[in-house]
Structure 1
Amino acid sequence: MAKHLFSQFPEDEQREVAAVCSRLGFVPDDFEITDEGFQPDDGDPAQRQVSVRRPATDAQCAYDASEGPGWIGEFESDLECGLFGKSSGRAPA
């Protein structure tokens, strides 16, 4: 199992997350974002799970990222519905 910090994610994912956060009044630093990848023993394709936690609210969620950056849309929906609380108000105008 390999665990990565958000700063180690692919640059395109980092940019997309930053854009989503900015649109909704957040910044990526509001969150602890990590991933873990693993190869199942049965020969299935590698799997990746992204975990997002907002320390200010202690809200957290895990997203299946095995198919790439599609998890970011789910994260955006969770931000919009308030799962992680209100925005920090720190995003650029």
Structure 2
Amino acid sequence: MATRPFSQFPAEEQQQVAQACMHVGLAPEMFEITDDSNGNGARRVSVRRVGTDNQSAYETGPDAPWVEQFESDLECGLFGQVTA
């Protein structure tokens, strides 16, 4: 499995993450996001908030968008206090 940085994610995913972060008053740069792919379309996306080390991982594939789960975790405070 090769680890890929967030800067190499599809542009649409990058935009969705930016919108989710802005929705709660955080910047995407506050997170270290990487993924690992098994070559069969399944991915494991790892997200860590820099400075707090709060983290989560999301199993995802073509029919399982991880950004929705990430946004829900942001809103419930999993990654720390939000401003919005």
**TM, length-normalised to structure 1:** 0.81
- Out of 48, 54, 58, which is 1:53 matched to? 48
Higher-Rg structure is 1
Report deviation, 1:66: 1.6
Q: Give yes or no for contact 1:13–1:69 (8 Å, CA) kept in 2.
A: no
* In structure 1, C-alpha distance between the alignment counterparts of 2:31 and 2:73, rounded to whole Å: 13
Residue 17 of structure 1, CA deviation: 0.4
1-structure distance, mates of 2:22, 2:50: 18
Which letter does structure 2 place at the counterpart of 1:82?
A: G
Query: What fraction of aligned residue pairs are identical, expressed as a percent?
Result: 51
- How far apart, in 1, do the equivalents of 2:19 and 2:41 lie? 27
Do 2:31 and 2:49's aligned partners in 1 also have CA atoms closer than 8 Å?
yes
Q: Which runs of 5+ in 2 are unaligned?
A: none
CA–CA distance in structure 2, aligned partners of residues 24 and 60 of structure 1 = 17
Moved over 4 A (4+): none
Alpha-carbon separation, structure 1, partners of 2:70 and 2:64: 10
- TM-score between the two structures when normalised by the length of structure 2: 0.89
Whether 1:20 and 2:20 are equivalent positions in the alignment is: yes
For 2:73, the equivalent position in structure 1 comes to 78
Question: In 2, Cα distance between the equivalents of 1:61 and 1:68?
Answer: 20
CA RMSD after TM alignment: 1.5
CA contact (8 A) 2:47 2:56 kept: yes
**Secondary structure at 1:17 match in 2:** helix
